[in-house]
Chain A
Amino acid sequence: MAGDQVTLLDFWASPFGMRVRIALAEKGVKYEYSEQDLRNKSALLLQMNPVHKKIPVLVHNGKPVCESLIIVQYIDEVWKDKAPLLPSDPYQRAQSRFWADFVDKKIYDLSRKIWTTKGEDLEAAKKDFIDCLKLLEGELGDKPYFGGETIGYVDIAFVPFYVWFHAYETVGNFKVEAECPKLIAYCKRCLQKESVSKSLQDPQKVYDFVVMLRKNFGIE
């Protein structure tokens, strides 16, 4: 849309920010990327997201939209003429929302436990994490993407976490591919899409970031 001013307040390693980047790329939306310092939050970020003070925030013609999945739905509704991210059937839409919500409720918290705990807590977190990935694998089935023939809402919700797997696997001493080969094949398939590969970060950089975070948090 001509004359649109779109800015994304983001943090390079955030899987939530990556979701928004993929959605904007799928829709071919031009935007300004604004890297935020999360240890020293800018006046702009605090003004645009006073309630949660978090990234990502999409600022569209001066008006902020917060919470990554809400932003993705907003993008889908505003730039509706290209690459629909949600199905048109209400039941299928509900199913997509359910699985994206599952990723939000389970994947992030469990994966965080993997790089912030040790010993028994770590082992329990790993098991729960793999159980959740297996549920996702089951839901994917034989489809190329969760969205069917093209990537959609659930793919966008989930695939950014893939670039954090290398970090989880290294600190947790396990391999997702050994447990969920289909899911890894799916992630690699997603990376072949330009909208995904250009939006996701290098797993090695993410790993280095996690190492630094663990040092700061005092985790061995």
Chain B
Amino acid sequence: MAKEDLLLLDFWASPFCMRVKVALAEKGVDYESKQEENLLGGKSELLLKSNPIYQKVPVLLDNGKPLSESTIIVSYIDEKWPSPPLLPACAYGRSQARFWADYIDKKLFDATCSIWRSTGAAVEASKKEFIEVLKVLEEALGEKDFFGGETFGFADIMAIPITSWFYASEKFGNFTVEAECPKLSAWIKRSMQRESVAKVLPDPEKVYEFVVMFRKMLGIE
């Protein structure tokens, strides 16, 4: 498959785009990417045409055919390039991986962002909710190296990009994930050792700077 056959409409800070990039890296699949510079102002025609319903990144174009929604794109990548598998072979294990991916989708990013979106007393409440979500994930992880067990997989890919935003939340919430959830912190470090993750995730300091600018834009003091 030629590199040009796969095009990712991307935004460097988006954890949803990072999921797709990590998945493609895990599979050793080459692709082109195009930065959507102006997500808040003028979205590109290609993005609007490829994802008319949500008008969001990531969009993966496979020989011109568009796929959107990060979880669905990662499932597609896993099915089209089966090796190495991101989901377990047994149906029950797959349902568990999908369940945790869905929980991460529903809860983790919103909880992370609510800390820096809040001001005053609301920050503490947001922090508490965020830590509760992390503790649920810690329990799901248990003694395993990764959510899927011994190998890095589907649920890990859903969660790890969002951790690049943790530093920003830690600064605004005045806490550390390591102190509150050491097991999860260990999982983050373990995942970051993977080349696919280390090469894709941005420097958390850069994400923090982006959040500072974004808060200003939203008028949050």
> Of B60-68, B146-154, B195-203, which binds chain A?
B60-68
User: Given A51-B136, A70-B102: A94 and B73 within 8 A (CB)?
Assistant: yes
Residues of chain B within 8 A (CB-CB) of A205 are: none
Query: Which A37-75 residues have a C-beta within 8 angstroms of B?
Result: 51, 60, 63, 65-67, 70-71, 73-74
Contact between B98 and A91, CB atoms less than 8 A apart: no
Residues of chain A within 8 A (CB-CB) of B187 are: none
Residues of chain B within 8 A (CB-CB) of A98 are: 67-69, 72
Contact between B91 and A77, CB atoms less than 8 A apart: yes
> How many residues of chain B are within 8 Å of chain A by beta carbon?
21
Contact between B92 and A90, CB atoms less than 8 A apart: no
Contact between B72 and A94, CB atoms less than 8 A apart: yes
Residues of chain B within 8 A (CB-CB) of A101 are: 69, 72
Interface string of A81-125 (1 = CB under 8 A from B): 000000000110110011001100000000000000000000000
> Of B1-9, B38-46, B74-82, B207-215, which binds chain A?
B74-82
Residues of chain B within 8 A (CB-CB) of A97 are: 69, 72, 75
B interface secondary structure, majority: helix
User: Is the CB of B94 closer than 8 A to any CB of chain A?
Assistant: yes
> How many residues of chain A are within 8 Å of chain B by beta carbon?
21
Chain B residues packing against A (C-beta within 8 Å): 53, 62, 65, 67-69, 72-73, 75-76, 79-80, 91-92, 94-95, 98-99, 102-103, 136
29 A-B pairs within 8 Å (CB atoms) are namely: A51-B136, A60-B92, A63-B92, A65-B95, A65-B99, A66-B99, A67-B98, A67-B102, A70-B99, A73-B98, A74-B91, A74-B92, A74-B94, A74-B95, A77-B91, A77-B94, A78-B91, A90-B80, A91-B62, A93-B75, A93-B76, A94-B73, A94-B75, A97-B72, A98-B69, A98-B72, A101-B69, A101-B72, A102-B53
Chain A residues packing against B (C-beta within 8 Å): 51, 60, 63, 65-67, 70-71, 73-74, 77-78, 90-91, 93-94, 97-98, 101-102, 135
